[in-house]
Amino acid sequence: MWINWFGFLLAMVVIVLGAKYHLTLALFFGSIILGIFTLTPIEILNQLYITITTPNTIFLILALGIIPLIGGILQESGGLEDIIENLRIGKRPFLGSTPAFIGLLPIPGGALFSAPVIDKAGSGLPGYIKTGINVWFRHIIYFIYPISYAIIVAADHANLSVFNIIIFQTPFFIFTIILGYFFLLKKADGEMIYDSEIDIPSLIPPMLVLLAAPVIWAGLSYGVGISEHLENIFVLIAVSISLILAIYFIDKGKKSLIKRAAYEMKPWNFMILVFTLYFFINIFHSSGIEGMISELAVPGVGLLVGIGFLLGFGTGRIMVPASIIAPIYIASEGSFSLWAFQAMYVAIFAGYIVTPVHPCISISLEYFDGDMNKFLKLMLPMLAISIGVASILFLLFG
């Protein structure tokens, strides 16, 4: 068993350190290393084949190739400039609210929708800080967002009411906004400089382009029944409609900018990145590491926080770790208190929000050309404070 642990830890080291030089290659070699220590060569090739041929993965890869193209068209056509010029709420509120607003409809890979706006409005900020702003303010809403799959599934496994969890975690959500302001937004000095009077009609087309995909995706996901193994076709349909709108709103004399946008954004890089990401996830699920983690005899806060963070970091998910931890905790303690749930959720979130296995982290770092190590150094103090506060509250009242 120790050799499996060694392979897992070595794979994570390769991914985190290698991401500084080339994230896609780091994920690929991390996958191979994990596979070598936990699977047979035939099983590794089988997981590669599954990644290449799974329709749901293909749909998402294609969709995440379209999203940066939409951003490029908005950038080249002046649509992003129209948003920044006419959505006048101040620089720091703008940087914090844009990813949160778009994140209200959590389309997979949706961090790419807010990335171009953050890039433009946060001009002058290093890429790793833009990444931090984009992913932090996009995801902290998951602490209180009632239609988030993460909180719904976690609540179900903990046998708790989603409504009660939302009410209970609202103070902690406000706390995360404060943390984000002091650790991230305060680095965005200066004011937004506007070149003209506010023009609301100019704001409508680019906002329609940005919001069409998440709204259409939500409508299809919640309104049309389909196998979960094909659900990403809704993502592909939604972003394709956004792309059509983006092209439609381009002035007739500027259609050539589509080619320029594709060249500038290099959407194929994102597609290859997502492929390697899912290859790693498939290897991880087949490796038995999840089961080994769940079998660790770690009681109380160690299970909720220590294993929660490890699983969040290892899987790049919230639902899967919660589904593993909650039954184990209930079996040993009898029930879940709201304090225990919050401690678990915060720890999982902390791992989830910094792992390169999480698509939003990987694609944001790629988009902003951010440094993974600097990103981790930026985020870890916030996460340490968050975990520390949630753990202390659990120990005192849970």
How many separate helices (H) and strands (E) can be counted in the chain? 21, 0
| Measured distance CA(368)–CA(2) in Å, rounded | 38
Q: What is the mean pLDDT of residues 380-391?
A: 96
HSE-up of residue 394 (Cα within 13 Å, Cβ side): 25
Please give the residue that has the higher pLDDT: either 321 or 186. Answer: 186
User: In the predicted model, is pLDDT for residue 47 greater than 80?
Assistant: yes
Rounded to an integer, what distance in angstroms lies between the CA atom of residue 66 and that of residue 69? Answer: 5
Measured CA to CA in angstroms, residue 212 lies from 110, 208, 219, 230, 271 at distances of 12, 6, 10, 21, 21
Of residues 265 and 162, the one with the higher pLDDT is 162
Count other C-beta atoms under 10 Å from residue 2's C-beta: 6
Q: What is the pLDDT of residue 330?
A: 80
224: its two tokens: 């049309």
- Stated length of the chain: 398
Distance spanning both ends of the chain, measured CA to CA: 34
Average pLDDT, the chain: 83
Contacts of 115 (CB under 8 A, 6+ apart): 71, 130, 134, 363, 364, 367, 368
User: 341-355: per-residue pLDDT in tens?
Assistant: 999 999 999 999 998
Q: CA 166 to CA 366: how far, in whole Å?
A: 33
pLDDT value at 304 more than 80: yes
Q: pLDDT at residue 252 above 90?
A: no
Burial (CB count within 10 angstroms: exposed 0-12, middle 13-18, buried 19+), residue 318: buried
Mean pLDDT of 273-299: 78
Supply the pLDDT for residue 266: 80
Asked whether the predicted pLDDT for residue 105 surpasses 60, the reply is: no
pLDDT at 43: 94
Q: Is the pLDDT of residue 377 over 80?
A: yes
Q: Would you state the pLDDT for residue 178?
A: 96
Structure tokens at 332: 């040993």
pLDDT at 140: 93
Lowest-confidence region among 115-124, 214-223, 360-369: 214-223
Distances in Å between the Cα of 153 and the Cα atoms of 46, 50, 166, 189, 206 are 30, 26, 13, 39, 34
- Statement: residue 147 has pLDDT above 70: no
Band the pLDDT of 196: cuts 50, 70, 90.
low
Instruction: Look at residue 19 and tell me whether its pLDDT is greater than 70.
Output: no
pLDDT tier at 393, thresholds 50, 70, 90 = very high
Q: Evaluate if residue 321 carries a pLDDT over 90.
A: no
Q: Does 302 score more than 70 pLDDT? A: yes
Per-domain boundaries in the chain: 2-397
Task: Supply φ then ψ for residue 199, to 5 degrees.
Answer: -135, 90
Q: Which of 319, 377, 366 is nearest to 27 (CA)?
A: 366
**Within its chain, how far is the Cα of 160 from the centroid?**
25
Maximum mean pLDDT: which of 16-25, 48-57, 185-194 = 48-57
Residue-level pLDDT at 192 = 66
Question: Rounded CA gap, 347 and 345, in Å?
Answer: 5
CA angle 262-265-266, nearest 5°?
Answer: 75
Find tokens 């959500």 and name the residue. Answer: 173
Mean pLDDT of the 149-177 span: 87
**pLDDT at 158 exceeding the cut of 60:** yes
